[in-house]
Amino acid sequence: QKEVEQNSGPLSVPEGAIASLNCTYSDRVSQSFFWYRQYSGKSPELIMSIYSNGDKEDGRFTAQLNKASQYVSLLIRDSQPSDSATYLCAVINQGYSSASKIIFGSGTRLSIRP
Amino acid sequence: DTEVTQTPKHLVMGMTNKKSLKCEQHMGHRAMYWYKQKAKKPPELMFVYSYEKLSINESVPSRFSPECPNSSLLNLHLHALQPEDSALYLCASSQVGPNTQYFGPGTRLTVL
């Protein structure tokens, strides 16, 4: 079982709709969760970070965390063509007292169709 | 300011060359990272420096040699690379601990 799992996609969503990206993780002691957006040929860009159960909203983006179900999601409202990218779910586990080791999912390719 | 800079943007080298990748941040972060990313794959961790000391080495071949000369700079020295080492090399930095990592723009490396 992979430590962080995402559907690879592509996920195709019409412009203006809500895009829903999902991620599950295997280590119950995971404590920090991130969503990165990566355009082709570019570096990952932080979209959201979430540390506690519930929802966290930032503009058109909402991250949701459910530690009991070991599930984290990203909702993108009013999807725009510029949202077309690969979205990487990332998790940091406890146990690294000095340096943090991110575990990345394989990424979900999102395509917003006009 | 959450900027991490990397030079060069692109690098083409032969298998007998020696070259270095450079990374710099001025956010006061004391943890810095090197990742390797192949096309359509997530970044793979190579090295982690914490307080300028090598903290994590993910069993990377010795032809990759990291160096952290001070708290703002991170280098990756390359020697006798193979064509399969061609990839996007990413630097990142963070506060020490399970905190957000900020990525630089990357160096696109091609080994001929």
Which residues of chain B lie closer than 8 angstroms to A107, CB-CB? 42
pLDDT, mean over chain B:
93
DSSP bridge pairs for A56 = A63
Would strands B10-13 and B107-111 be described as parallel, antiparallel, or unpaired? parallel
B59 CB-near residues (< 8 Å, 6+ apart): none
Q: Band of the pLDDT at B1, cuts 50, 70, 90?
A: low
**Cα distance from B98 to chain A (closest Cα, Å)?**
5
Tell whether B100 lies on the interface with A, counting CB pairs under 8 A: yes
Which residues of chain B lie closer than 8 angstroms to A99, CB-CB? 31, 33, 48-50, 55-56, 96
Q: For A96, what's the count of Cα atoms within 13 Å in the CB-facing half-sphere? A: 23
Give how far the C-alpha of residue B102 lies from the chain's centroid of Cα atoms, to the nearest Å: 12
Give residue-wise pLDDT tens across range B73-112.
Answer: 999 999 999 999 999 999 999 988 888 899 999 999 999 9
Which residues of chain B lie closer than 8 angstroms to A93, CB-CB? 98
pLDDT in tens, chain A (114 residues): 679 999 888 999 999 999 999 999 998 888 899 999 999 999 999 999 999 999 999 999 999 999 999 999 999 999 999 999 999 999 987 545 556 788 999 999 999 999
Q: In what order do the strands lie in the sheet with B73-79?
A: B4-7, B18-25, B73-79, B64-70
- Residue ranges of the alpha helices (H) in B1-112? none
- Give the single-character DSSP code of A23: E
What residue in B sits closest to A89 (Cα-Cα)?
B42
Q: What pLDDT score was predicted for residue B2?
A: 66
Alpha-carbon torsion B90, B91, B94, B97, what sign? Answer: positive
Query: How far apart are alpha carbons A32 and A17 in whole angstroms?
Result: 28
